[in-house]
Structure 1
Amino acid sequence: MSITQQYALDAYRARQHGEPVPPAPGAHDWQVIRELRDRHQFHAVLAGRPAHGRIRRVLGRLLRSRPRPTC
């Protein structure tokens, strides 16, 4: 059974019992991603690390340390 079929079955059952219909699959995906990011930032602060900008800082450091090609 696919996710869409399961959702349709759950929505049908909820309507039959007079309950609210469950949210559609994927309706809250971005909210979950934001909450995960916030959690990682919170744990970084507790560990004494910078809370944001770590990836850009590391990539910038890697790009600056590479030898530049000479023409």
Structure 2
Amino acid sequence: MNAMHQHLFDAYRAAQHGEPTPPPPGTHDVATLRAVRDHRRFRRVLAGRPARGGLLAAVTRRLGQGPS
């Protein structure tokens, strides 16, 4: 069973009980990713590192240095 099948079952059960249907799968994905990003930035600031950067900045710095 995939997420869409589960959503259909949940929507059917909600209709039987007169409750509002749940949001379809993937509705809050972007908001969740933004919250994770913001939390990671917050943790970086608490650790004394720059808020921006992360993996992409580290790879770019490595590639920009050239061969050692």
Taking structure 1 as the reference length, what is the TM-score of the superposition? Answer: 0.80
Between the two proteins, the alignment pairs up a number of residues equal to: 67
- Structure 1 letter corresponding to 2:17: H
Aligned structure 1 segments of 4 or more residues deviating by more than 2 angstroms: 53-61
Q: Percent identity between the aligned chains?
A: 49
Determine the structure 1 residue equivalent to 2:19. Answer: 19
Q: Deviations over 1:7-66 (max 9, x none)?
A: 101001101101110010111001000000000000000000000134454234223321
Taking structure 2 as the reference length, what is the TM-score of the superposition? Answer: 0.83
Bigger radius of gyration among the two: 1
Unmatched 5+ stretches in structure 2: none
Q: What do you get for the CA RMSD once the two structures are aligned? A: 1.5
Unmatched 5+ stretches in structure 1: none
Task: Work out the CA distance in 2 between the residues paired with 1:5 and 1:30.
Answer: 22
